[in-house]
Each structure stands twice: as C-alpha cells, then as structure tokens.
C-alpha cells in the first residue's frame, strides 16, 4: 500500500470510530469523514487561508472554481461564459444565455519523458486562479481572472520561464470554447480593434416583446494550438489572451483596448489585484487558529462578492445575485429571495457601500413588480419568486409562482436592515427607496384578509419557505414578514421625516401571527402539528432574521420542534439553528449544527452544492451566505435594531478567535475581535459618534477613532444615543431597549 493510501485508510478508520462513539448526529465528525483527510492530503491552504491549492485536478468538472466580477463569469476550464442580465427565452423558458469561452484553455500532453509536476491554485485575496506546470528546466504558468476594475474583461495569461538547459519545448494547448451557443446568434464580423477577433449577435428569444432581443458583442484574442520555446533559450515570456463582452459594441471595444494598453504598461494584473485587496481591507472575517475554517470563510466571501459589481453600471444594469453565482446557470441564473435573505446580509455588514448595488436590483424592477401585482389582482408591488432581466415572473414551477409570495416581504426586510445599519443616509432620501417601501406595504395590505370573527388580518393560500407544504393559510413566516413590511413605511418616515398612511400600521397591528399557547411555540401554518416533517424550519426564522421578541422558552421550543422535524434541508437552515442555540447560550447544540452546513462544501476549491450529497445546483452561494451569517450573527452575535447594534462575540468552534474587520454601522467602520476571554472593539473611521454599552459593569464608553476598547467577553451594544435604558442582565438579541435621552 502506498503511503498516501495508508494515510487515507488510517483517517477513514479513525473517523468511523469517532462517528460510532459520538453518534451520527455529530456533524463536525461527519465533516471530518467527508472532507478532513482529503483536505490534509490535497489542499495546501496558506498560513492565513487565502490560497486553495491542490496537486490533483478535480475528478468532477463541477468542482473547478468560479472567476467572476459581477459582469462576466466563468468556471475555470469550462466552455461557457455568462454575462450578468443576459437571458434567452420567453417568460418561464428564460435561462442564462451561454457565450462560448473563446479564451479558455488547457495545457495538454507534454512529451512522455518530461518529468512534470502540476499545482492548481485559487488565490482568493487577489481573485486569481493559477496553474503551474514544472519541468526540469522550465515552468509554465496559466493565470485566469475576471478583471475587477474593467469588468468587461476575462484575462488568460500564459507564461513560460526557461533556464536555457531545456531542449525544444512545445506546449500543446486545447481551447475549450465548445460548440456554437444555442441561445446567442454570434457571427464573425470585421474587427475595428487591432489584434482582436470580433463577433456579434443577439439572443434568440426575448423575455417579453417589449424587452427585445438583447445584443451581444465579443472581442477576443485567438489562442494558438501550441507554443514553442527553442532549446537553449532562457528567460520569461508571457502571452495574454483577452476576451471582452458587452451589450454595446463601443463598450466591448474600449474594454479590450484598455486591457491591452494596461498589459503593455505592466499594470493589467496589478490593477486587478489592488482592487481585490481594497475589497478585503474594507470588509472580511478572519478565523484565527484554524486555517481550514479560515479558508471556508474567505471562499464564501470570495464567491459571493465576485458575483456582484463594485459599483452601479451606467451601460448595462446589474440584475442581482442568483443562487449559483454568476459563472453557473443553476436555476437558470434567476434572482430569488436568496439574494435578499441569504447573500445580502453579509454584504450589508461588511461592505455597506455595496449593499445599495443589491437594493438597486429591486428598485430597478419596481414597475415590473407593480405590473405583476396588477396581474394577480393586487395593489402595490409584488416581487416575482423568480425574476430575470425585466423583473416580471419567470418561475417555471407553477406552485411557487402562484403561492410563494414571501419574497415581497423579504425585499422589505432587506430595506429595513439597511435603515437600521446605515441610519439617515442619502439612499433613504432617494425616491426609489421610499416608493419601494410604500408599494410593498400596499401589496401586503391588499393581500391580507380581515377575519371578521376574530378581528385579525390573515393571509391565505401561500407557500412558506418550507416548500413541502402549499397552499396553506397563515404561514407564520409569511405573516410576520408581511407585518414588518407594513410597519416599514412608518419606520422609514421616523428617520427621514415623511408621512406614512396610517392604514399600513392599522393592518400590521391586527396581523394574525400563529401561536400555540398550550404547547408554547409557533406553528408553521394553520393546522400544522409538531410531528409533520418540513423542508426547512422556517418557523425558527422568527427569532432571526425577523427578530420577533419572544421568551427564551418559546425560542427553545421553536428550535427543538423544528430541529426534530426538518428533513435534509438546505445548508442555510442549519446555520439558522446554530444562531438560535447561540442566542440561548447552548454552544454545544450550536456547534454540531454549525458544522453540519459544511457537509455541502466539496473539493479543493470549497465549492458548495445545494444538497449535502453533492446534488442540486453548483456553486451554491445561498448556502455560503447562510454560513457567513452563522458566524456574523451567530458567533459574532451581531444584531441591528432601531436604536443600537447588539454584539456578543465568541470564537468559532475549533478556532482561537475571530475578527470581523470593517463592520459598517451608521457611517462608521468597526473592527470587532474576540477570543474566549476578551472582546476588542475599534472604531476605524469617522462617522456618527458611537457609544459602547457593557452588560457586566453597566458602563457607557465613547468610541473614539483609532482607540481600541478591550473588555471581558460579554454581550455589548453600540449606539449613537448617549443614554439608553438597558434591561438588567444580558441585553442583546430580541431584547427591547428604551431610549431615554
């Protein structure tokens, strides 16, 4: 038996023994069985966790990493490029339109007597994928990235370094652009850009007659069949293959020309790397003392952030985050509640300046949502369960299209979270913000039905986030997120000094929220009984992210009941259970559920699948968003409220500490770090004056820029109010605070 095989067998025996001893519900151990030995054998993460490297290519092609920049994305070595907002198909046949990957290449078939070793690396801190082939006297490096500044560009660099002692070296290349696209009619045309090929065309079928056939313009540099270096030649040579994509020819031509100019200046790669470093410097999560967990966090941040642009696009709008990032066509590239509920919150906390980019995807489609509400017989704005370019509903599964209406409340929840984190910012005064808030409230007012016998408003015939049960009446999640949406106009107007129609609050005040007083828990919907299995425990989302104030007994009962009845579940449901148990200081219960999420993470490049068995869509950034929330809102204890930001920082299991770098709150940036004894808070930028409230000593400490505050581990609160009336004992999650000054 080879040494590597012996090591793997040893890992397997130890892991199975631990499983039998600890029981199959110990998901930390199960994660070790599924991934631990492979990680130790194949993955060489650097000491900080930023590099994911392996000497073995993925056995399954879907486990190659994504490179994206919010406008274009591709999976390494795939034959497809996808562009944000480019869809083909009418209505429910809408799907992302494939563009051939004209500059995707493989290095293949070196001479049999060459002694070649290969390393495959994703460098997340620089957004660069790299392959290095090493011979006795030469090195070939293939570098791929989606440019972070000039986001029309995909870049492939081929670098050959020789020491002069090599014989004639021929590097065979295989181009992976695959067959002609079946969704875009690309044809050759005379290029107006030197050294570039040019193709143009349109999608085959418009989403609606009004939206038209979207044009596509592509410039690219042809990849040769091989590259040869003469014997005796020493030095380094680099070939660069650019591909630019846009709906506008001048835009695509400019990007290609600019990329070539930057390359000649020697700044093509460095400008890309610098921008990625700026992203990480302004917001990230560091896990201390556990490189494997650190790399899991960085990769989740990398895949989500790379799928979105860093600013608004003046040529072609950003349509939103899809559950399977920008480089895949999972769920046809459509936008769901996944963006608002799962991926948006980590972006809001760590990159408050990017949060409006996601909110604008909902402002842009407000008129389409008004039209969708009209078609369904309601007032206001109803957001589609699945949307593509126009914002109208393109859901191919009729039950979700007909019943899964909670997404309209999820959009309002994202807006509410922005108000709490950003405060009275310029975006709140944008007419689109206010119009969206009011239109959503109007929808829920028209969607609610008064039960004249109880005097309460109800919402009938819906599909909860638990998609196994529909149609049902009074989904507890749907009703409460609707209530929050109805209260949002008044909440917003308190900040920006506007007037909200009183009927929104009147309906909200009488919204029926299912509760079983005998069993002291929240039934998922009318008629639900405790032994009914569910797809995901959406009843526990009342505690977080909806932050319904409830007693610890009710919170515990909700968690117990739904943990016992939740099936295989999407990964993010386990993160929400972990958050709930951490609220109750049940750290052992939280730990197993925290690690259970990671059963969805596969391969050297930390690719998440929708299902823990590797099935479903790839790369599932929805699950990665839930995972990041389990750290930020679970182990970080971060909770936004109208009057404060609550925190209770604790190390992630298996680590010695965590740091939330660049938490954005009320115009300030904060660094929050902790180990098992000390929590440190540093205000790193100027904004509204903030005060730190302690729960152990009842102190009020002004936070001054650049001056760290070290405290024993405890629940804390940060507020712009100098005087808060805090409850005795722990204050933090789901505890009201009265402002007295």
> Residue 526 corresponds to which tokens in the numbers above?
């009318």
Burial zone of 641 (CB within 10 Å; 0-12 exposed, 13-18 middle, 19+ buried) = middle
DSSP state of 601: E
Tokens 């559950």 correspond to: 323
Give backbone dihedrals phi and psi of 730, rounded to 5 degrees, phi first. -65, 130
Please, are residues 282 and 305 in contact by the beta-carbon 8 Å criterion? no
CA neighbours closer than 13 Å in the CB half-sphere of residue 536: 20
Looking at 317-430, list the stretches that DSSP marks H as alpha helix, in order from N- to C-terminal side.
337, 344-350, 355-364, 366-375, 398-403, 406-422
Distance CA 569, CA 269 (A): 41
Please, are residues 433 and 364 in contact by the beta-carbon 8 Å criterion? no
Of 574, 577, 423, which is closest to residue 495 (Cα–Cα)?
A: 423
Give backbone dihedrals phi and psi of 203, rounded to 5 degrees, phi first. -65, 165
Distance CA 22, CA 31 (A): 13
Distance CA 517, CA 508 (A): 21
Burial zone of 230 (CB within 10 Å; 0-12 exposed, 13-18 middle, 19+ buried) = exposed
> Residue 226 corresponds to which tokens in the numbers above?
């091989």
- Who's near 707: CB < 8 A, 6+ residues apart? 682, 683
Query: Which of the residues 371, 467, 505, 560 is marked catalytic?
Result: 467
Give backbone dihedrals phi and psi of 491, rounded to 5 degrees, phi first. -60, -45
Total residues found in the chain within this entry: 741
Active site residue 467: yes
Distance CA 150, CA 344 (A): 24
> Residue 539 corresponds to which tokens in the numbers above?
């009843």
DSSP secondary structure string, 605-628?
TTEEBSSTTS-S-BS-HHHHHHHH
Distance CA 600, CA 616 (A): 10
Distances (CA, A) of 551 to 515, 548, 611, 643, 725: 13, 10, 33, 21, 20
How many beta carbons lie within 10 A of that of residue 267, not counting itself?
A: 14
Please, are residues 309 and 356 in contact by the beta-carbon 8 Å criterion? no
Distance CA 553, CA 538 (A): 18
Distance CA 404, CA 470 (A): 9
Q: How far is CA 359 from the centre of its chain?
A: 14
Tokens 């021929």 correspond to: 170
Known catalytic residues are 467
């Amino acid at each position: 038996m080879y040494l590597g095989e012996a090591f793997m067998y040893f890992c397997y025996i130890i892991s199975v023994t631990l499983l039998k001893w600890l029981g199959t519900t110990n998901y930390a151990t199960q994660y070790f069985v599924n991934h631990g030995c492979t990680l130790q054998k194949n993955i060489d993460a650097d000491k900080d966790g930023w590099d994911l490297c392996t000497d073995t290519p993925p056995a399954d092609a879907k486990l190659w990493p994504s490179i994206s920049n919010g406008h274009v994305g591709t999976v390494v070595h795939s034959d497809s490029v996808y562009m944000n907002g480019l869809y083909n198909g009418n209505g429910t046949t809408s799907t992302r339109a494939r563009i051939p990957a004209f500059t995707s290449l493989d290095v293949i078939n070196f001479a049999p007597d060459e002694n070649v070793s290969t390393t495959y690396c994703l460098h997340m801190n620089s957004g660069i994928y790299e392959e290095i082939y090493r011979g006795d006297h030469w090195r070939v490096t293939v570098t791929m990235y989606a440019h972070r500044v000039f986001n029309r560009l995909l870049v492939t660099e081929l670098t050959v370094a020789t020491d002069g002692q090599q014989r004639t070296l021929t590097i065979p290349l295989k181009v992976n652009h695959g067959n002609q696209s079946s969704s875009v009619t690309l044809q050759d045309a005379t290029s107006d850009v030197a050294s570039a090929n040019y193709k143009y065309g349109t999608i085959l079928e418009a989403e609606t007659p009004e939206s038209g056939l979207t044009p596509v313009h592509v410039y690219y540099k042809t990849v040769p069949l091989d590259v040869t270096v003469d014997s005796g030649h020493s030095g380094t040579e680099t070939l660069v293959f650019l591909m630019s994509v846009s709906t506008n020819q001048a835009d695509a031509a400019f990007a290609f020309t600019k990329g070539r100019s930057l390359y000649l200046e020697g700044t093509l790669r460095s400008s890309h790397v610098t921008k990625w470093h700026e992203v990480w410097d302004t917001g990230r999560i560091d896990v201390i003392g556990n490189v494997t967990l650190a790399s899991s966090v960085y990769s989740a941040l990398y895949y989500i952030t790379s799928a979105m642009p860093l600013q608004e696009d003046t040529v072609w709008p950003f349509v939103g985050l899809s559950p399977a990032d920008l480089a895949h066509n999972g769920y046809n590239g459509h936008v769901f509640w996944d963006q608002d509920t799962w991926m948006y919150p980590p972006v809001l906390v760590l990159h408050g300046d990017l949060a409006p980019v996601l909110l604008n995807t909902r402002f842009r489609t407000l008129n389409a949502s008004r039209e969708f509400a009209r078609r369904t017989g309601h007032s206001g704005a109803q957001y589609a369960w699945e949307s593509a370019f126009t914002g109208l509903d393109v859901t191919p599964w009729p039950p979700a299209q007909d019943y899964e209406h909670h997404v309209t409340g999820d959009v309002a929840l994202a807006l509410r979270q922005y108000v709490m984190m950003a405060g009275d910012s310029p975006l709140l005064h944008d007419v689109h913000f206010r119009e969206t808030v009011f239109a959503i409230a109007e929808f829920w007012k028209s969607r609610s039905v008064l039960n004249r016998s109880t005097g309460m408003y109800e919402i009938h015939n819906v599909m909860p986030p638990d998609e196994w049960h529909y149609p049902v009446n009074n989904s507890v999640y749907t009703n409460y997120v609707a209530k929050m949406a109805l209260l949002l106009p008044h909440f917003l107007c308190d900040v920006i000094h506007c007037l909200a129609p009183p009927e929104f609050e009147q309906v909200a005040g009488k919204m029926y929220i299912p509760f079983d007083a005998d069993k002291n828990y929240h039934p998922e919907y009318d008629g639900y009984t405790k032994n009914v299995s569910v797809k995901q425990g959406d009843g526990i989302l009342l505690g977080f992210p909806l932050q319904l104030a409830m007693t610890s007994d009710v919170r515990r009962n909700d968690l117990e009941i739904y943990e016992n009845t939740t099936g295989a579940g999407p990964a993010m449901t386990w993160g929400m259970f972990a958050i709930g148990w951490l609220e109750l200081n049940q750290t052992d219960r939280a730990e197993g559920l925290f690690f259970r999420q990671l059963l969805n993470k596969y391969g050297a490049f930390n690719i998440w699948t929708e299902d823990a068995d590797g099935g479903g869509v790839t790369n599932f950034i929805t699950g990665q968003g839930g995972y990041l929330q389990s750290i930020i809102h679970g182990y970080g204890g971060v909770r936004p409220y109208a009057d404060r930001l609550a925190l209770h920082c604790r190390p992630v299991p298996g680590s010695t500490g965590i740091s939330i770098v660049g938490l954005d709150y009320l115009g300030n940036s904060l660094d929050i770090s902790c180990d098992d004894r000390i929590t440190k808070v540093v205000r790193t930028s100027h904004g509204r004056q903030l005060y730190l409230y302690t729960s152990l000593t009842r102190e009020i400490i002004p936070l001054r820029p650049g001056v760290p505050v070290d405290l024993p581990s405890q629940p804390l609160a940060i507020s712009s109010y100098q005087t808060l009336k805090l409850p005795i004992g722990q204050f933090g999650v789901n505890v009201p605070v009265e402002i007295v000054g």
